[in-house]
Amino acid sequence: MPAEEFVAGWISGALGLVLGHPFDTVKVRLQTQTTYRGIVDCMVKTYRHESLLGFFKGMSFPIASIAVVNSVLFGVYSNALLALTATSHQERRAQPPSYTHVFIAGCTGGFLQAYCLAPFDLIKVRLQNQTEPRAKPGSPPPRYRGPMHCAASIFQAEGPRGLFRGAWALTLRDTPTLGIYFVTYEWLCRQFTPDGQTPSSGTVLVAGGFAGITSWVAATPLDVIKSRMQMAGLKQRAYGGLLDCMVSSARQEGLGVFFRGLTINSARAFPVNAVTFLSYEHLLLSWG
Ligand SMILES: CN(C)C(=N)NCCC[C@H](N)C(=O)O
């Protein structure tokens, strides 16, 4: 099992994550709070109230967790392709796998990464939704003092299962959309690369960016539900389950609710995934 695929997945994921985190904070707030009129309003209020640091809330944990999450995604994807097609990453340019194989391998990677991602993503979303400015003397402290305190509080209040709140929605979001992610990437690379050759850096950037956008457009409806399930329990608005969350969100806010955060998700997805794929391909190439 080639281990470098896991390491390359980790490093490339961390680079993409730092670049995309401010967009991610705005997205999570738009999806779960009704106080903002739109992207600009959310950015202005976040900046005024919490300074630039507000955009980076909840980032330390994802940085630590990306080692597990992205290396599982890329490592499982590549090793699943190896099992399906008996070709290594280097051999795949000369003998490209079928799109069905790419899709199956992507879904497998997506399914397994979702379970590793679930507790980290829950903590990230809870911290991103704390809109209190950094501790000021006399002001009430935020509910969670940091990622470890957040994890411990959830564990104490709800037990280990509490840390997997929203995990079903996350799995449903990530399994098919990561299939779409890798198929889009492969398809675009093949369109702009002569047969048998390695795609250029420009091609990798564009293909990675569009793979990110396409998969996030498909993922946004379940992303909204996932974020709401993760926040439920903190407010009075607890849902009976995934379906109940979908139905009551649509009833109260109309079908448009499923597209909340679509624009910011797409704007974030391009640079994050362009950088992720570029560094992933370069690392694997340089390790030979
Ligand atoms: C649609 N989904 C869930 C994805 N494309 N997931 C892959 C994530 C890649 C990158 N870390 C990101 O956050 O965009």
Q: How many helices (H) and strands (E) would you count in the chain?
A: 9, 0
What is the pLDDT at residue 288?
67
Residue 235's pLDDT is what?
60
Q: Which atom of ligand 1 is nearest to the CA of 174?
A: 3
At residue 44, the pLDDT reads 94
124 Cα–ligand 1 center, Å: 15
Considering the entire predicted model, what is its pTM? 0.85
Using a 10 angstrom Cβ sphere, with 0-12 exposed, 13-18 middle and 19 or more buried, the burial of residue 85 is: middle
How much is the ipTM here? Answer: 0.97
* Pick from 47, 236, 54: nearest CA to 127: 54
pLDDT confidence of residue 7: 80
Stretches where the chain sits below pLDDT 50 are: none
pLDDT digits (tens, 9 = 90+) for 227-285: 999 988 666 557 888 999 999 999 999 999 999 989 988 988 999 999 899 988 988 88
Residue in the structure block whose two tokens are 């955060």: 261
CB-CB contact of 122 with 154 (8 Å): yes
Ligand 1 centroid–CA 141 distance in Å is 33
Residue 133: the pLDDT is 64
pLDDT at 2: 62
* Residue 130 φ then ψ, to 5°: -85, 105
Task: Establish whether residue 219 lines the binding site of ligand 1, counting it when its CB lies within 6 angstroms of any ligand atom.
Answer: yes
- Using the mean position of ligand 1's atoms as its centre, give its distance from the Cα of residue 269 in Å: 7
d(CA 6, CA 119) in angstroms, rounded, equals: 20
Is the CB of 277 within 6 Å of ligand 1? no
Per-residue pLDDT at 233:
64
Angle (nearest 5°) at CA 71 between 2 and 79: 40
**Residue 277 has what pLDDT?**
93
User: According to the model, what pLDDT value does residue 203 have?
Assistant: 97
